[in-house]
Structure 1
Amino acid sequence: MMDLSIAVAGATSGLASGLVVSAAGCPALALVGGLVSLAILPAVAATTRSR
Structure 2
Amino acid sequence: MDNGRLLARESGQDGIAPAKLIPPMLARFMDGDRAFAKARRLGVSAHEQSRE
Give the TM-score taking structure 1 as reference length.
0.36
Larger radius of gyration: 2
The structure showing larger relative contact order (alpha-carbon pairs under 8 Å, at least 6 residues apart) is 2
Higher helix share: 1
Q: Could you tell me the TM-score, scaled by structure 2's length?
A: 0.36
